[in-house]
Amino acid sequence: GQNIDQPTEMTATEGAIVQINCTYQTSGFNGLFWYQQHAGEAPTFLSYNVLDGLEEKGRFSSFLSRSKGYSYLLLKELQMKDSASYLCAVMDSNYQLIWGAGTKLIIKP
Amino acid sequence: DAMVIQNPRYQVTQFGKPVTLSCSQTLNHNVMYWYQQKSSQAPKLLFHYYDKDFNNEADTPDNFQSRRPNTSFCFLDIRSPGLGDAAMYLCATSSYGEGYNEQFFGPGTRLTVL
């Protein structure tokens, strides 16, 4: 079966750095997405990786290793507004998104 | 601004009373999706359309149906809502093709079943 694993919850301090990991097993791979979702709101796109390596976008970076079936989202200089769930999703061979359950990130002052 | 719009944002219905949720888009995307998302869970794909080509996920209950009368609009019909159908319903769109095709989400409709 297809499976996306990510931690359920993480806690970090304002101003610090946090890394959210995602491992996946899917039938085919056409890219990995990270979405941010605030409570009660729709997901918003953060990043897309299809080749191995690091993609940097401001305070957020995303890394992919296809051979290991592994990605992480790195958030720097954490702000209180970064408190949200972070969803990892993989596009399979049918170009459908397989979603993880999300990691709830709690930022403390 | 190009966007995905969902109405209503909050919907309350009674057990067994049919309800219709709507989605419209100005992105001119040919693919539209309906997801169900319950608290602290992954979005669950219910249906998707490639243009007018309808695709029903194997485990979507018969209680759920969908219509896409044109490129811009898509509807989700819940024929007899049960308490277990209370959730956030998300509409998303994308442009079909190989490679990068980010899904753009509407704000969602939160359904409460009394």
- Among residues A43, A6, A10, A7, which one has the least CA distance to residue A25? A6
Q: How many CA atoms lie within 13 A of B19 on its CB side?
A: 23
Distance in angstroms (rounded) separating the CA atoms of residues A99 and B41: 9
Which chain A residue has its CA at the smallest distance from B98's CA? A95
Query: DSSP class of residue A100?
Result: P
- Structure tokens of B42? 């992954």
Please list the ranges in chain B whose pLDDT falls under 70.
1-2, 97-100
Predicted confidence band of residue A4 (pLDDT cuts 50, 70, 90): very high
Contact B107 A42 (CB under 8 A): yes
Mean pLDDT of chain B: 91
CB pairs < 8 Å spanning A and B: 49
Query: DSSP class of residue B98?
Result: S
Would you list which residues of chain B are within 8 Å, Cβ to Cβ, of chain A?
40-43, 45, 48, 88, 90, 96, 98-108, 110
Contact B96 A95 (CB under 8 A): yes
Give yes or no for a contact between A99 and A92, defined as CB atoms under 8 angstroms apart.
Answer: no
Name residues whose C-beta falls within 8 Å of residue B27's C-beta, 6 or more positions apart in sequence: B2, B3, B4, B93, B95, B104
Chain B residues with beta carbon closer than 8 angstroms to that of A42? 90, 105-108
Distance in angstroms (rounded) separating the CA atoms of residues A68 and A54: 15
Distance in angstroms (rounded) separating the CA atoms of residues A61 and A55: 5
Out of B43, B104, B107, the one facing A41 most closely (by C-beta) is B107
> Hey, how many other C-beta atoms are within 10 angstroms of the C-beta on B86?
16
pLDDT digits (tens, 9 = 90+) for A16-74: 999 999 999 998 998 999 999 999 888 999 999 999 999 999 999 999 999 999 999 99
